[in-house]
Amino acid sequence: MKTIKNSENKEIMTMDMVAEYLQLSKRTIYKMVSQKRIPMVKLGNRNRFIKEEIDGWLHNGATIPIDIPEFPKFNN
C-alpha cells in the first residue's frame, strides 16, 4: 500500500487507504469517523489518517465495530 508523506515525514492515508489497511469497508470507516471512533484529521473537507496514529490506536486496544443487521421492532 502506497502512502503520502507530509512535511514532517509522517505517512498520511486517504479513506480508501485506511480501509484497505484495516481490511474494512469504506462504509465502516465512514461510520467510525462520524462516531469519532478512529483518529483522523480534517484537511479542508477531506478526512485523512496519520498511519502512526492508526497504528497506536490499534496497539492500544482499538475497538472495531462489526456490521450487525438491525431486526424489526415489534410492538406488543
Q: Which residue ranges make up each domain of the chain?
A: 4-59
Side-chain half-sphere CA neighbours of 13 within 13 A:
22
**pLDDT score of 76:** 63
Q: What is the mean pLDDT of each run of 10 residues along the chain (76 residues)?
A: 68 94 93 91 92 91 66 70
Query: Residues 13, 21: contact at Cβ < 8 Å?
Result: yes
pLDDT for 39 equals 93
Q: How much is the pTM?
A: 0.72
Pick the CATH number of 4-59 from 1.10.3470, 3.40.1000, 3.90.105, 3.40.50: 3.90.105
Question: What is the reported pLDDT for 9?
Answer: 73
| pLDDT of amino acid 67 | 61
Cα 13 to Cα 54: distance, rounded to the nearest angstrom: 10
Q: Where are the alpha helices (DSSP H) in 1-76?
A: 15-22, 26-34, 51-59
